[in-house]
């Protein structure tokens, strides 16, 4: 497997772990918002350290970037806050199942229309069937 595939596999493994850890922290603290705040503080530290190692000069280019690109931070915050609030009562598996389903739908639309400068990859019948099979597989894993 190429390094990109392994990296994304690790990221995928980390998403439910993140959800479970942060949901447990939110329950322990009695505040999912406080748990999310701690998560973002740790994440900020990790990204600042990475930036310092890889070259902080790139940060200066942010001023010239289109402002709508900064909305990504709101999506991250929404994900973390929603999974931290909902997972303890809804279940990690159920929550992540719906997150994955949303990712499949969103990724297909972004690729099909080339949104946000993404490489265009039309939604063909074959891709639609593949996405459907993936969605079905994720759904099957949640059936008890």
Question: Domain of 36?
Answer: 3-141
The total number of structural domains in the chain stands at 1
Q: Cα separation of 35 and 87, whole Å?
A: 13
pTM of the model: 0.85
Interval 57-104: pLDDT, tens = 999 999 999 999 999 999 999 999 999 999 999 989 889 888 988 998
Q: Cα separation of 112 and 123, whole Å?
A: 5
Interval 97-140: pLDDT, tens = 889 889 989 999 999 999 999 999 999 999 999 989 988 988 88
């Amino acid at each position: 497997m190429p390094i990109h595939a392994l990296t994304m596999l690790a990221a995928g493994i980390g998403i439910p772990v993140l959800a479970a850890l942060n949901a447990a922290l939110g329950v322990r603290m009695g505040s999912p918002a406080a748990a999310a705040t701690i998560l973002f503080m740790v994440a900020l530290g990790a990204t600042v350290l990475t930036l310092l190692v890889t070259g902080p000069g790139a940060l200066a280019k942010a001023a010239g970037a289109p402002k709508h690109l900064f909305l990504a931070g709101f999506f991250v915050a929404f994900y973390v806050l929603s999974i931290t609030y909902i997972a303890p009562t809804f279940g990690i598996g159920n929550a992540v199942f719906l997150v994955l389903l949303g990712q499949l739908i969103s990724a297909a639309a972004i690729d099909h229309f080339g949104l946000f400068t993404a490489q265009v990859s039309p939604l063909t019948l074959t891709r639609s069937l593949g996405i459907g099979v993936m969605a079905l597989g994720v759904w099957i894993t949640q059936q008890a």
